[in-house]
Structure 1
Amino acid sequence: MLEIINVKKATLWILKGVKSTDSSYYCRIIMLSPIKKEKLNYDFVDSLRFIAIITIVLEHTYMWPEPKFFKDVYEQSIQLFTMQVFKFGTILFYILAGFLIGDKIRTTTSLQYLKKRFDGTFKPWLFWIGVFLVLIYANLLVVYLKGSWSPMFEKPIWGFGEQIYDIIVKTSFWFILNFLGSIAILLIFRRYLYKIQLGIFFGICSLFYSVNLYYEWIYSTHTTAILGFVFYLWLGVILHKNFQQFNDWIKRRSIYTLLLASIFALVISCYESYYLINAKIQGDPYNTLRVSNIVYSLVSFLFLYRLGNPKWIKKLNPRSSTYGIHLIHFIIIMQILPQIFNPLGIGPEGKTSFELVILQYIRFFIVYFASYFIVYIINKFDKIKWIIGQ
């Protein structure tokens, strides 16, 4: 028997049997085939984006009457769970954005990257703020013409400034300015991007806002937390740099262990909100930057990543629809939903927690599918696709 073996570096040999005309002779020839390094799969970014935008829309479609808090334990539990369970979406968005920054940071300059983000993020943001303002003024004009007083027309400059402030600070549009500001801060420290000391600094900044909830040293809403979310962008960059190691590590973790950890973190987050409500703090007891919610968001990220990427999500094309849904959904909540529910006399007053949850999901389905449909139609026209960004 003759064996021909030729081993080279970084190669894989495939055995093939070749029998000669002489039945007593058998030659085993080993053919050369190069080893292919496993290609890392980044599809998880689109899958988690899809999940994150659903949590954002769900969170914004609630109708809990502020600052109402049910006294009955059963009612309290439903309210706490409903308000908390979707709170991981914002931090998830920042981690994913940081991951994508890590993917581009080595091939573009800081100015090139910021320009790309301006074209794909800021310009669509300005466009939809304009649409929002037009709809607001149209509604107020109708009310004004019917004889009701409106500061938008009696004091136009003050009224316009007030509306701009409310849109940027009190609606989902806050996210884009904070996001772009966080990117700019991260790029300022680009030279030290992969230093653990930089991560510790940004982590301390985030925890400052967590502690500030209890003491109100500064205005505590997460929508004005300028340095509150940079850490999660940085975390995404580090995740990209060490993605192979992370991928190998997470595959060895049990899905059920991560699920139990997520449930435990959810319970702790609900308890912290309950404590903050009873402490009668001035800020939001469901603030995204609570310590418990930070932990819950990070554990949820691990669980969702380990869960995998459902194939059906790809068919919805989340890469080209997520940002558009984010820009449009709050306009529908504020301008369209009242035209549906107010004439029907449907509001939060006098309803149980369970009824409010059902109402929230009805509102969610209307808002999400209306937003998705609008984005889907816009994506069909190349000349106007820029208004939904990416």
Structure 2
Amino acid sequence: MTDISKGKNYDFIDTMRFIAMISIVMEHSSPFLGMQMTTLHDQIIQTAALQFIKFGTIVFFILAGFLIGDKFNQYTTKQYLSRRIHSIFRPWLFWVTVFIGLFYINQAVIHFKGGGAPGFEHPINYLVDRIHFIVVYTSFWFIINFIFCIAVLLFFRKYMYNMIFGAILGLCSLFYSVNLYFEWAPTGHTTALMGFIFYLWLGVILHKYFDAFQKWITQRSFFLLSSLVVITYILSCIESLHLLQLGSGDFLNTLRISNIIFSFACFLFLYRFCNFKAIEMLNPRSMTFGIHLLHHILIIIFLPMVLMPLEIVYAKQTAWNLFFLQFLIFLLIYSSTYVIVHLLRKMEKWKWTVGQ
């Protein structure tokens, strides 16, 4: 996830991945996640607070596809997969193991205090449950899905630039959009293995036609692109509220058709206007993968240790309190994760754990 082509000015990738990661961390740390608001007023606040940060995942896949396009002719399928697995799967496996270990430490504390601890009472079932939770319900799902998507693209590499192949991948993604209304299959975006390949492919196509894209995007005005972001944001909120009224348990799914378009609009806007030089001081190329790996561990394991002494219980907060908490908790999680990753990068023995 840290490869950037040398000799070409792809600085926008660092900046956009950094901004996309901010949106992902804020979403994962939001107190609104999993909350069931009972009034329309509260549902609107919840939807508005979460929707404006829902672009990160699709933007990430497009950027990753762009980098695949850049390396496409330099490696064989086996070589490319081997490099990616070596560079991202080893750190992923390490932090999954750490995550599980921290769960067991927590269980040990509960057990020795005399409380019920499934980790000791049913150790095998607990281990399987924790692995399932980590791989399916936390940010660690992304790496598994990412490797799967790369494998599919490379398996069909001779069709990589075929528009019919792209259309088929697009239909696969749209299946999950429609499935939100009919629930033929589980709706969670983390289990939508075939749902994100299209955006990886789109990044490959963007790389192929990058010069034409640059010429086109530089002619688009701030008013046009910002209006597109605002309009698609509103439409995404409306679709989410509609799904909520239909009783959907996944009304903020990343693969809603409106959110897909919103993510595209954000991609265009970010590329055109958000290549901030100041972000370079934060070393986004080296920090982003580590932040991705560690932030959910802090959210699940350590955030409750902060909130409990402060007697902050999400269910007892008003929607507006949760709205402001979303930003405060994000700042806490993001800054803490950034510091940890920064320190690990300075340790020769451990920097590989954050993708260095």
> Which residue identity lines up with residue 25 of structure 2 in the other structure?
V
Q: Is the 8 A contact 2:107 2:118 kept in 1?
A: no
**In the alignment, which residue of structure 2 is the partner of 1:124?**
91
Q: Is the 8 A contact 1:65 1:348 kept in 2?
A: no
Question: CA 1:65–1:209 in 2, change beyond 3 Å: closer, same or farther?
Answer: closer
Question: Using the alignment, how far apart are the partners of 1:308 and 1:267 within structure 2?
Answer: 21
Q: Within the alignment, does 1:306 sit opposite 2:268 as a pair?
A: no
- Once the 2 structures are TM-superposed, how far is the Cα of residue 65 of structure 1 from its aligned partner? 6.8
* Structure 1 residue corresponding to 2:21, chosen from 26, 40, 53: 53
Stretches of 4+ aligned residues off by more than 3 angstroms = none
Question: Using the alignment, how far apart are the partners of 1:97 and 1:72 within structure 2?
Answer: 38
Question: CA 1:72–1:286 in 2, change beyond 3 Å: closer, same or farther?
Answer: closer
* Structure 2 residue corresponding to 1:96, chosen from 63, 67, 88: 63
- Once the 2 structures are TM-superposed, how far is the Cα of residue 332 of structure 1 from its aligned partner? 0.4
Question: Using the alignment, how far apart are the partners of 2:85 and 2:79 within structure 1?
Answer: 10
- Once the 2 structures are TM-superposed, how far is the Cα of residue 272 of structure 1 from its aligned partner? 0.5
Deviations 1:315-372 (A, max 9, x none): 1111110010000000001111111111221011232222111111111111101111
Q: Is the 8 A contact 2:61 2:199 kept in 1?
A: yes
Question: Using the alignment, how far apart are the partners of 2:341 and 2:172 within structure 1?
Answer: 36
Question: Using the alignment, how far apart are the partners of 2:258 and 2:33 within structure 1?
Answer: 24
Deviations 1:4-40 (A, max 9, x none): xxxxxxxxxxxxxxxxxxxxxxxxxxxxxxxxxxx86
**In the alignment, which residue of structure 2 is the partner of 1:358?**
324
Long gaps (5+) in structure 1: 1-38
Q: Within the alignment, does 1:63 sit opposite 2:31 as a pair?
A: yes
**In the alignment, which residue of structure 2 is the partner of 1:32?**
none
Question: Using the alignment, how far apart are the partners of 2:62 and 2:271 within structure 1?
Answer: 12
Provide the secondary structure at the position in 2 that maps to 1:382.
coil
* Structure 2 residue corresponding to 1:323, chosen from 266, 289, 302: 289
Question: Using the alignment, how far apart are the partners of 2:253 and 2:38 within structure 1?
Answer: 19
Provide the secondary structure at the position in 2 that maps to 1:249.
helix
Larger helix share, 1 or 2: 2
Question: Using the alignment, how far apart are the partners of 1:99 and 1:266 within structure 2?
Answer: 25
Q: Within the alignment, does 1:229 sit opposite 2:196 as a pair?
A: yes
Question: CA 1:375–1:240 in 2, change beyond 3 Å: closer, same or farther?
Answer: same
Question: CA 1:101–1:65 in 2, change beyond 3 Å: closer, same or farther?
Answer: closer
Q: Is the 8 A contact 2:32 2:50 kept in 1?
A: no
Q: Within the alignment, does 1:273 sit opposite 2:279 as a pair?
A: no
Q: Is the 8 A contact 1:63 1:347 kept in 2?
A: no
> Which moved further from structure 2: 266-275 or 349-358?
349-358
Q: Is the 8 A contact 2:44 2:241 kept in 1?
A: no
Q: RMSD of the alignment, in Å?
A: 1.3
Q: Within the alignment, does 1:178 sit opposite 2:145 as a pair?
A: yes
* Structure 1 residue corresponding to 2:340, chosen from 363, 368, 374: 374
**In the alignment, which residue of structure 1 is the partner of 2:231?**
264
Deviations 1:175-214 (A, max 9, x none): 1100110000010010110000110010000000000111
**1:1-390 mapped onto 2 (5 Å cutoff):** 41-64=9-32, 66-73=34-41, 75-281=42-248, 283-389=249-355
Larger strand share, 1 or 2: 1
- Once the 2 structures are TM-superposed, how far is the Cα of residue 66 of structure 1 from its aligned partner? 3.5
Q: Is the 8 A contact 2:161 2:205 kept in 1?
A: yes
Q: TM-score, normalised to structure 2's length?
A: 0.96
> Which residue identity lines up with residue 256 of structure 2 in the other structure?
R
User: Which structure has the bigger radius of gyration?
Assistant: 1
Q: Is the 8 A contact 2:239 2:258 kept in 1?
A: yes
> Which residue identity lines up with residue 286 of structure 2 in the other structure?
S
- Once the 2 structures are TM-superposed, how far is the Cα of residue 77 of structure 1 from its aligned partner? 2.7
> Which residue identity lines up with residue 319 of structure 2 in the other structure?
S
Question: Using the alignment, how far apart are the partners of 1:111 and 1:385 within structure 2?
Answer: 26
Q: Is the 8 A contact 2:236 2:258 kept in 1?
A: yes
Question: CA 1:66–1:375 in 2, change beyond 3 Å: closer, same or farther?
Answer: closer
Question: Using the alignment, how far apart are the partners of 2:212 and 2:9 within structure 1?
Answer: 13
Deviations 1:274-307 (A, max 9, x none): 00111002x4100000000000001110011110
Question: Using the alignment, how far apart are the partners of 1:289 and 1:171 within structure 2?
Answer: 17
- Once the 2 structures are TM-superposed, how far is the Cα of residue 308 of structure 1 from its aligned partner? 3.9
Question: Using the alignment, how far apart are the partners of 1:118 and 1:72 within structure 2?
Answer: 45
Q: Is the 8 A contact 1:272 1:292 kept in 2?
A: yes
| Percent of residue pairs identical | 49
